[in-house]
Chain A
Amino acid sequence: MSPNQLGFYTLLKKEVMRFWSVLAQTVTAPVLTALLYLLVFAQALQGRVVTGYDGISYTQFLLPGLVMMTVLQNAFANTSSSLAQSKVNGNIVFLLMAPIGPVEMFLAYVGAALVRALLVALAMLAVAGPLVGLPIANPFALLAMFLLAGSALAVLGIIAGIVSTKFDHLAAFSNFIITPLSFLSGVFYSVHSLPPIWFTASHLNPFFYMIDGFRYGFFGHADVSIWLSLGWTAGFFVLMAVICLWMLFTGYKLRK
């Protein structure tokens, strides 16, 4: 049967409108927070941290990681809060009754999350990029890492939104998964400066590869090979997508 293109496009537009109507909360606030991190950490640690990158200052090292971390958090927040909200309000029935299929729903939610993540990333780079003086070594790697990592977290957000029956559950997802993984991912330091056990642990954290690969896009080199980062990020995305599509196709927790 033919897919419902207008249905997909409408849902995408609606999801964009949802965060657009509260841009101060959904874009401005996270950008400001991230820029404050940049300011504070750069002031405190500039010159004291060995980045492991020749000719790259700590502030330059820090910015790409912060941008990616903000992308990940906002991609996750957009899908998870939208779904959880419409479940709690009950208005999700209007979507579930409509002739919109699992794939269309998946793509629309992920698409809107990517739009928000892109806005956040561009705003951060526009404000801080010129001040810090960031090179761009490989735009394709940047784009690929942004799309794969942003989508993976958007999909994880859909899963969290489906599984959560209360806002508390969503907060738990955020506090016990997203925040620890993003802080233990080498945003603020090079993992080479870590004790061996943490060094090993970092290499099992998909967020580490997302950030490292994104950094590669700017500097042309990073802690691990870009292919390893792309592989981990793509693998994580596929895993999330399989789980999420399985949930959407079977109606897991959405259609009792």
Chain B
Amino acid sequence: MNTPTLRAGPPALEITGVRKAYGSVQALNGLDFDIRQGEFFGLLGPNGAGKSTLISIISGLIRADEGHVRVLGHDTVTDWRAARRTLGVVPQELVFDPFFKVVDLLRIQAGYYGCGREVWPWIDEMLERLELGNKRTAMMRSLSGGMKRRVLIAQALVHKPPVVILDEPTAGVDVELRRTLWRFMRDLHAKGTTVVLTTHYLEEAQEMCERIAIVDKGRLRIVETTEGLLNRHPFRFLTLKLADGAAMPAHLAELVTSVKGDALELKLDRERHPIASVFAGLKAAGIEIADVSTREPDLEDIFVELTAKPAPGVVS
């Protein structure tokens, strides 16, 4: 994980006061944040959080009710041509034109962006790198889902955009291909491209992204460096198996967050509940420990904490 890169000039993406409603559903409820040039940025949130809606607004596919977005300083509405030239977007849906060959489709897409033969070698390079070399002249409709996904990625990059947004590029993709895509995204980023990634695989976001925004119900919950996010919660997890199936003493039972078989997971505040105090408590109650392990919090714990649904009856 690299530290965020600082570069002069406008932010790669500037999202200001963006709201969008679909009928009575408020998909985006006033989003404000920037993504810096050269960042590898994670946009996370549960299903229906509004991630794809935001991406559609950035790419000009839908219009925001309020607020605006700038891509490298270009407003997506008033300066749409420059904004769109600067941006490459891989949509979440597996959409494609079934009537064209892979290479023709990519050359057509390049043409839409005003790029001619000069990018054909780049298109061939991408096909090789995405392991599509032998599908170059295959018809789109004859490709498997994973292959179509890779064509979609190449399609977003034909014009070598400085800002790339990938909406769940690794959804439904096998382990090997996922590694290929990770390598590909890392290389893009290393060459200076700003990469924005949405994913539901939190270990992927933790591994790849320098900074992360978590969106929920159309609102920004947090935007923070991945490291900062992980250090934010002074928790650690302790898993215990008690000998002879003994019960947890009452004052420790309230720290148990999950039970798997006879393994109990306790969530401990580093300050208030040092591990030693748990051991002491058990000893005092005369309970023997059969097995023990600890785990540092990962992004998933933080994600769950930030996006947890309030208990029924609780007004939030």
Residue positions of A touching B, CB distance < 8 A: 1, 4-7, 9-11, 13-14, 17-18, 21, 86, 89-91, 93-101, 251, 255-256
Contact = CB atoms under 8 A, between A and B. Distances in A.
Interface string B84-125: 110101010101111110001000110111111000000000
Contacts of B89: 97
8 contacts: A17-B104, A18-B99, A90-B93, A91-B97, A93-B59, A96-B60, A97-B59, A251-B63
B63 A98 contact: no
A253 B61 CA distance: 11
Contact of A7 (B59, B97, B114): B114
A256 to B, nearest CB: 5
Contact of A255 (B60, B79, B97, B115): B60
A96 B61 contact: yes
Contacts of A100: 112
**Which one of B61, B87, B98 has the highest number of Cβ atoms from chain A below 10 Å of its Cβ?**
B61
Contacts of B273: none
A5 B114 CA distance: 7
A197 B205 CA distance: 72
A99 B81 contact: yes
B246 interface: no
A200 B96 CA distance: 48
A103 to B, nearest CB: 12
B33 interface: no
Contacts of A11: 111-112
A11 B113 CA distance: 11
A4 B114 CA distance: 6
Contacts of A21: 99
B199 interface: no
B111 A6 contact: yes
Given A90-B93, A91-B95, A10 B112 contact: yes
Nearest to B152: A94
B61 A98 contact: no
Contacts of B98: 89
A256 B114 contact: no
Main secondary structure of the interface of B (DSSP, over half): loop
B113 A99 contact: yes
Interface centre among A89, A93, A94 (most CB of B within 10 A): A94
A9 B111 CA distance: 8
Given A94-B112, A97-B84, A99-B85, A255 B99 contact: no
B303 interface: no
A214 to B, nearest CB: 32
B91 A93 contact: yes
A6 B115 contact: yes
A10 B89 CA distance: 20
Contacts of B80: 99
Interface string B142-181: 0000000000000100000000000000000000000000
A98 B113 contact: yes
A24 to B, nearest CB: 14
A7 B111 contact: yes
A255 B61 contact: yes
Contacts of A97: 59-61, 84, 87, 89
A36 to B, nearest CB: 28
A91 B97 CA distance: 6
B112 A89 contact: no
Contact of B97 (A9, A86, A99, A101): A86
Contact of B62 (A14, A86, A101, A256): A256
Nearest to B95: A90
A99 B93 contact: no
A98 B62 contact: no
Given A6-B116, A11-B112, 14 more contacts: A1-B82, A6-B114, A7-B114, A13-B108, A21-B99, A89-B95, A89-B96, A90-B95, A91-B97, A94-B112, A96-B60, A98-B84, A99-B81, A256-B62
Nearest to A18: B99
A100 B91 CA distance: 18
B315 to A, nearest CB: 32
Contacts of A251: 63
